[in-house]
Structure 1
Amino acid sequence: MAALSRLLTRLRYLGTTPPPLVPVVRLSGVIASREVFGRSLALATVAARLERAFRLPGATAVALLVNSPGGSPVQSALIGRRIRLLAEEAGLPVHVFVEDVAASGGYWLACAGDDIHADAASIVGSIGVISAGFGFQRLLERWGVERRVHTAGGTKAQLDPFRPENPEDVARLRRLQDDIHADFKAWVKLRRGARLKADDAALFEGEFWTGKRALELGLIDGIGHLRDVLRARYGSKVRTPLVGERRGFNPLRRLFGLRHGSDSELGSTLTDGVLMAIEDRALWSRFGL
């Protein structure tokens, strides 16, 4: 179908110069390596779409629609780096458009663009690292449950939610967070450079802002929407096809995120899906969504 579409396009503009072509890739959802209960963003789930967009014959640029509250810093870095590699190989500019939110890992993805636009009410920023959980040791005591943990390695059971919190474990976690945070800040500075209009203390403490304020801080380049901005830049006849994901339809697999294996996995996947859905909901709710 794609080949036929390209052929029809060539025939349609035979003997004339076709209008500019800017394929669009939507990057929407929580960033995570697993996909359960709907969609999540990971390199494995978006790489094919990105490659098709950058390799589309006649493309003038590539546009990304970003709508994500963040998630895995590793997947954020992998996707961001893949976008830059493809852009450099194809020699194409990348225009990013923020929808509801580009926060934390979502902003990491947005920074892969050469310019970023958002709605005045979009949520942008949250350049920090967070780790959250619960402590259940008193619940076990209340029910008379004894937890038995045997390890080879003194810190193997660190941050076990069923044991009292150890200050040394917390300090070790903070060092990990600081390392990841440093990488995040370096990426933002690399991609935004002199466009940033505030110091580190203002930008990199995890705060998030509306699109209007993000523009003042230099985190984005303008207030505007995809169609309006691209028409102003490439002309009113610019073509903006959405590059979608290719996958077969299976109702159960589509609902529960199963891609491989037998349907006997459904029970365990359902349990994992409930937990991930709660975590995903918590990420979105931080930004009022």
Structure 2
Amino acid sequence: MTDAYHLAASRPWLIQRESLETILSVAERAGDPQALQTRLGRPLDNARSVTMRDGVAVIPVTGPVFRYANLFTAISGATSTQVLATDLQAALDNPYVRAVVLEFNTPGGEASGIGELSDTIHAARGRKPIVAYVGDLAASAGYWVASACDEVVIAETGMVGSIGVVMSYLDTSERDAKAGVRTLEIVSSQSPDKRLDPKTDEGRGKVQSIVDALAEVFVTAVARNRDVPVDTVLSDFGRGGVLLGAEAVKAGMADRIGSLEAVITELAGSASTPKRKTPMSNTNGQVTVSTTADLRNALAAGYTAEQITIASTDTAIAAARAEGEAAGRAAATDAAVTAERGRIARIQALARAGFDTELQAAVDSGATPEAFALTLLQAAQERGITLDAVRRDAPPAAAHARPGEQGGDTKVTSLSTSAIYARRQAGAVSAK
């Protein structure tokens, strides 16, 4: 069985040395991957936290970076490039997101998947502003990704760089010999390089060529992303080390000094609405909403009442518009919000325990209180619940009880939706 350490050590890494040593140390102590997962004592949490602020999506890039969410991402709340790419695409496709900020605090990670993510970000330039903010550290793989953004903003104490590739090899032969362990491998004769031995000059040379080739891809990508010659990256971008704040700006690794709050405020105020047309938006800064969810999203994205058009025939909106266009879109929007809140409040007043699914469906679908009352009655009948039981939140009566048995002779009388609603409002709905 391959142990956790060798799973980690066999991969090329774009990461700072201290962070790699921590990962390898934990992997070596844990033994096999399942033991490591058990020792952590917590489930793998792949959920991402993307914050929406005034139309700006802030996506964190924290901890070591891995291609997939796996046992190593659970060690220190690491980042998966697969999940990060999904979050980024969702932000780019969302018409209410005006700009994206990738907030970096990462020592780097494994090489797998980094180039693809960098290419994805670089190709997305021009759709919406994509800014990398480095408040602490964007090293190695982290800087590869950050360099692909439209702009790199760094704090005075932030650090970027560590451009290069590393592979580690743990020689356990002496330890194994003392323990009486001998490992024998038989490699197919046509594949002499399948098991390179870094302890030999030939094996080390071939491993070195792999590392150098990957580093060349890394350097070339950064040069493209930052629009500088490869020689500039090799000579001025830290030579494998990291540069601090103003020094990074001077070298061309970052564009300017700034704070996260300032970047978000700037993007929220100056970023235009999405250029790509969607059913919800147009090119003159206006947005049309047809549901309560659309309205909430538009307001959260920073659209003003004057920019929002309500696509609805709701009575409250019609009445507000009847008073004259002089009232403006702001009045119509306020009326829509008030009417929607009233509808939800009346539906919630009718709700009873055990009917949460019907309640949520009524709220989400825009159903009227009267329609919800009918739905509630029908659901109760299907479950064998009498109207008395609904009113008292009592357990359901037997659906087919015989006369004289518990629940027998219970009769449900159909009521009109208007009558049900009126009686519910008065607190006097009952079954005769």
State the TM bucket, normalised to the shorter chain: 0.5 to 0.7
1:90-115: CA deviation from partner (whole Å, max 9, x where unpaired): x2121110132100000011012111
CA distance in 2, matches of 1:172, 1:237: 49
CA distance in 1, matches of 2:199, 2:249: 41
1:104-155: CA deviation from partner (whole Å, max 9, x where unpaired): 0000110121110111111210011111231111112223322211111222
CA distance in 2, matches of 1:67, 1:29: 7
Alignment of 1:183 onto 2:217: yes
Match of 1:112?
A: 148
| CA positional deviation for 1:198 | 5.0
CA distance in 1, matches of 2:300, 2:143: 23
**Does the 8 Å contact 1:20/1:237 carry over to 2?**
no
Alignment of 1:92 onto 2:128: yes
Alignment of 1:24 onto 2:58: yes
Q: 1:135 to 1:230 in 2, by over 3 A?
A: same
Letter of the aligned partner of 2:79 in structure 1?
A: L
Question: In structure 2, which of residues 186, 204, 207 is the aligned counterpart of residue 173 of structure 1?
Answer: 207
Match of 1:138?
A: 174
Deviates more, 1:174-183 or 1:55-64: 55-64
Normalising by structure 2, we get a TM-score of 0.46
**Does the 8 Å contact 1:54/1:87 carry over to 2?**
no
Match of 1:251?
A: none
Question: In structure 1, which of residues 203, 206, 212 is the aligned counterpart of residue 240 of structure 2?
Answer: 206
**Does the 8 Å contact 1:185/1:204 carry over to 2?**
no
Letter of the aligned partner of 1:64 in structure 2?
A: L
Normalising by structure 1, we get a TM-score of 0.67
CA distance in 2, matches of 1:69, 1:186: 20
**Does the 8 Å contact 1:24/1:240 carry over to 2?**
no
| CA positional deviation for 1:240 | 9.0
Deviates more, 1:141-150 or 1:125-134: 141-150
How do 1:133-282 residues align onto structure 2 when only pairs under 5 Å count? 133-152=169-188, 153-159=191-197, 165-194=199-228, 200-203=234-237, 205-232=239-266, 234-235=268-269
Q: 1:73 to 1:237 in 2, by over 3 A?
A: closer
Question: In structure 2, which of residues 90, 112, 136 is the aligned counterpart of residue 52 of structure 1?
Answer: 90
**Does the 8 Å contact 2:152/2:256 carry over to 1?**
yes
Alignment of 1:42 onto 2:80: yes
**Does the 8 Å contact 1:68/1:102 carry over to 2?**
yes
Question: In structure 2, which of residues 89, 96, 100 is the aligned counterpart of residue 62 of structure 1?
Answer: 100
Q: Which has the higher contact order (CA 8 A, sep 6+)?
A: 1
Structure 2 unaligned residues grouped into runs of 5+: 1-52, 273-298, 302-432
CA distance in 2, matches of 1:97, 1:61: 13
Letter of the aligned partner of 1:132 in structure 2?
A: S
Deviates more, 1:129-138 or 1:198-207: 198-207
Deviates more, 1:223-232 or 1:124-133: 223-232
**Does the 8 Å contact 1:31/1:72 carry over to 2?**
yes
> Which is greater in Rg?
2
Q: 1:154 to 1:60 in 2, by over 3 A?
A: same
| CA positional deviation for 1:169 | 1.2
Question: In structure 1, which of residues 71, 88, 96 is the aligned counterpart of residue 109 of structure 2?
Answer: 71
Aligned residues: 217
Letter of the aligned partner of 2:88 in structure 1?
A: L
CA distance in 2, matches of 1:199, 1:49: 29
User: Over aligned residues, Cα RMSD in angstroms?
Assistant: 2.9
| CA positional deviation for 1:233 | 5.2
Identity %: 24
CA distance in 2, matches of 1:61, 1:197: 32
CA distance in 2, matches of 1:233, 1:49: 19
CA distance in 1, matches of 2:181, 2:267: 65
Structure 1 unaligned residues grouped into runs of 5+: 1-18, 242-289
Match of 1:122?
A: 158
**Does the 8 Å contact 1:27/1:65 carry over to 2?**
yes
| CA positional deviation for 1:196 | 9.6
Match of 2:322?
A: none
CA distance in 2, matches of 1:240, 1:171: 56
